[in-house]
Every structure is written in structure tokens, then in C-alpha cells.
Amino acid sequence: MFVRFGKPAVLAGALALVGGVAVATPLVDREPGLWEITFSRESPMAAMMKEMQAALAQMPEAQRKQMEEMMQQSGASLAHPDVIRECVTPEMAKGEFQPPMDDPDMQCSDMKWKGGASEGTFSLVCTHEDGKWAIKGRVWDATARHYKSEMTMTGTVSGEPMNMTIGHEANWVSADCQGVAPRH
């Protein structure tokens, strides 16, 4: 959904990281299928979606419709800017967490995990020619169909300091992904 590196891409990368944290070994395997990830209303992700909503309102109808369809396939909806839907394949549900990033030039360290099957903490470092940040967080209340997570990112983007915290709660919806494409 986001191609360029910068604050929107950092936020998209953060979303991918937060959504992927729940499959980190040794957390309990998630149930495959459609998941809804609800971000705290103060989240930078919700703010970014509201900005996108305003930008789309200024587009011609055909272009706006095309953008809305692309967003829907990736699990985003302007009607619910604090909710992202994610399709978890059986392989993703059982696999070890690898942060999926939209920018192929971004490099992330292996995630360090401390904890057990239902809660724990994690950390990793991501770099790009335009910035570097440390990511720390925790996951708790994790079951095969539910978890909560909070993540803090600190570092720089385009030479500017960046510090953001993203909290969310995720719930399994159904075995059918309902048209939401899995991330690769």
C-alpha cells in the first residue's frame, strides 16, 4: 500500500510489525483466517488513516474508488480508520515472525523475544538509508484467537527524531479471509 520511505512508510512498517508480533515463536500459534487489529484511537496509524480519508475526499470519484478498493484488499477501510483486517495463512500462523516491510531496502535485525506462550517482550532494530530506529514492545493476553500488543519506535527518519507508540488489540474473525489478501 505504501511505496515510498518516510513517515507514512514507517507507519505502514510499524503496522506490519505489530500485526506480525503475535506469530513470534514461542507465542501460541494464531488461528488461520481473518483477523481484525484495532488500534488505540490515539495511534499514529488511526491519524494517518484520517489524513488519507481527507485526501481521498479531494480525488475524482474514479480515482478515489480505485484507491478504496486497493485499501480494502490490503485490509484497510476509511470507514473504520482504527481497524485493519489481516489475512493469516496457515503457514503464517505457524511460522516464526519475520517483519514484512514494503521497502525492500529496509533491513531489520532478528527479533529478540523473552516470554512464554501467552505474553512476553520483544525488540529489534531496523535501518534504511534514510533512517534507523529501535523497536521495543510487549504482547500479552495471547490466545489462538486474541492478543494485545504495544510497541514503541524511537530513532530518526530523514534526519528528524521520531518517537511513537502504537497499541492494539487483535481478534480472530473467521476462517474465511473475505477478500483480504495475505501479506507476503
* CB contact at 8 A, 78 and 171: no
**Boundaries of every domain in the chain:** 7-174
Residue 17 in this model has a pLDDT that exceeds 80: no
Higher pLDDT, 84 or 171: 171
Percent of the chain with pLDDT over 90: 20
State yes or no: pLDDT of 32 exceeds 60.
Answer: yes
Q: Compute CA distances 142 → 54, 120, 169, 176, whole Å.
A: 35, 9, 10, 21
- Per DSSP, helices labelled H in the chain are 7-21, 44-57, 61-73, 90-94
pLDDT at 35 exceeding the cut of 90:
yes
**Quick one: pLDDT at residue 148?**
92
What amino acid occupies position 21?
Answer: V
Contacts of 163 (CB under 8 A, 6+ apart): 152, 153, 154
Average pLDDT across the chain, whole number = 77
Residue 22 has pLDDT above 70, yes or no: no
pTM of the model: 0.70
- Convert the pLDDT of each residue in 156-171 to its tens digit: 888 889 888 888 899 9
